[in-house]
Amino acid sequence: MTLRYFYYSKLFNKVISNDKNISNIIYTLFKSTPQEWSTYLGGKTALVTGASSGIGFETARILASRGAKVILADKVNLDDTESLIVNTTQESLIVNTTHNDNVHAKYVDFESLDSVREFAKEIQQSENRLDILINNAGVGGMLHRYTKDLLQVEMQINHFGPFLLTHLLIELLRKSQPSKIIFVSSILAYLNNLTIENLNKISDFPILDFMVYSNSKLCNILTAQGFADRLRGQGVTCNALHPGKMRGEGTLLGLKKVIYFMLNMGAKTPIQGAQTVTHLALSEEFNKVSGKFFIECEPFIPPKKAQDLSFREAIWKASEYYVRLRPYEKLRITPVVRHPLNLLKK
């Protein structure tokens, strides 16, 4: 409890002004979230990005255990035998532990918009339905360069890539309604400095780069809200979530290594972090819930900038530009249809 309190305490000043009942905030952040589901997903298809490890892997395994066809979408260097073995092993591990052989690993590199388009085209051609899309792939704190698409690499992997992929798979999701889109964000979205000007700008602090990560996680929330607005009444819901403070992985040096060691204290395991993701994916109570931000399986107050519709739309339009979305791929906001009796009351 103490470690988790320390992690979240600096966020209270940003969220407390939005909720007068502090006890509700503390309860939501610190309660445990073991979940049980009876949902059967036979005949349904789920796609999980970043599924070769961590939360993505555990989420994919849970969905496979419920009978779904699961596509593990991740980056695998086909020239790297070790990477290929790891990816194949993860696919086999899910098959062996769930006794569901309808699990398939596929290649996608979110560092390349061309790769995202190629992957989406492959899915469109090979799949006749897509019931659950979980945008989980992400990186943080160690990349400081632009990609060949002239996008900041961390922002491209965490935001621009999933933003494009979701657009390209919309028709398949509509065809499979009721369907769900889930963006794995982070509570660090509250600690952002996002503007239109720095949406695609390398951080001024290359040693840390934490703010770019926070900004990209805010973009996940803004994007989920944007899709919710545009898919209203079409049988497709879209939400974002914070999975919990997760243990960092990867090779880190110097100051970053010390910082990540401190942050990892008291962190959740991947299976624990997958609880909120799978809860949203499996629970029928969320079939009509859209545009929300969840923490510990409960809806939570989003960051202040996510409550600003004009800011949300500005980021959305800029993102369309950066991923070079084609005119026919763009989505329009679906107007809210009010019941005639409600209009008479006004």
Asked if residue 31 is part of any domain, the answer here is no
Q: What single-letter amino acid sits at 332?
A: R
Token representation of residue 51: 């599924």
Q: Cβ neighbours of residue 237 under 8 Å, at least 6 residues apart?
A: 178, 179, 180, 181, 228, 231, 286, 287, 288, 289, 290
Asked if residue 346 is part of any domain, the answer here is no
Strands 103-107 and 132-135: unpaired
Which of 91, 168, 183, 70 has its CA nearest to residue 136? Answer: 183
Chain mean position to CA 233: 22
pLDDT category of residue 267 using cuts at 50, 70 and 90 = low
Q: What single-letter amino acid sits at 290?
A: S
Q: pTM for the complete prediction?
A: 0.82
Could you list the residue range(s) of the whole structural domain that residue 74 is in? 2-7+39-335
The more confidently predicted of residues 162 and 144 is 162
What is the enclosing helix (H) or strand (E) of 9?
helix 2-9
For the cut 80, the answer to whether the pLDDT of residue 301 exceeds it is: yes
For the cut 90, the answer to whether the pLDDT of residue 18 exceeds it is: no
Q: What is the mean pLDDT of residues 288-312?
A: 94
Contact 47, 134 (CB under 8 A): yes
DSSP 148-199: TTSSBHHHIIIIIHHHHHHHHTHHHHHHT-SEEEEEE--GGGGG----TTTT
Asked if residue 342 is part of any domain, the answer here is no
Cβ count within 10 A of residue 113: 21
Helix, strand, coil shares, percent, the chain, to 5: 50, 10, 40
Contact 237, 286 (CB under 8 A): yes
Q: What is the pLDDT of residue 182?
A: 98
Asked if residue 133 is part of any domain, the answer here is yes
Token representation of residue 301: 């107050």
Q: What single-letter amino acid sits at 2?
A: T
The more confidently predicted of residues 231 and 1 is 231
Q: What is the mean pLDDT of residues 263-291?
A: 80
Indicate which residues carry an active-site annotation: 213
Which of 162, 167, 179, 165 has its CA nearest to residue 128? Answer: 179
Rounded distance, CA 104 to CA 88, Å?
Answer: 9
Using one digit for the tens of pLDDT, what is the confidence trace for 65-86? 999 999 999 986 444 444 444 4
Residues present in the chain in total: 346
Contact 58, 271 (CB under 8 A): yes
How high is the mean pLDDT of the chain? Answer: 81
Rounded distance, CA 142 to CA 297, Å?
Answer: 29
Rounded distance, CA 1 to CA 31, Å?
Answer: 10
Percentage of the chain lying above the pLDDT 90 cut: 56
Which of 235, 219, 344 has its CA nearest to residue 290? Answer: 235
Asked if residue 44 is part of any domain, the answer here is yes
Q: What is the pLDDT of residue 69?
A: 96
Q: What one-character DSSP code corresponds to residue 339?
A: P
Q: What is the pLDDT of residue 140?
A: 81
Which of 70, 100, 75 has its CA nearest to residue 282? Answer: 70
Asked if residue 25 is part of any domain, the answer here is no
Asked if residue 173 is part of any domain, the answer here is yes
Asked if residue 17 is part of any domain, the answer here is no
What CATH number is given to the structural domain containing 238? 3.40.50.720
Give the number of domains in the chain: 1
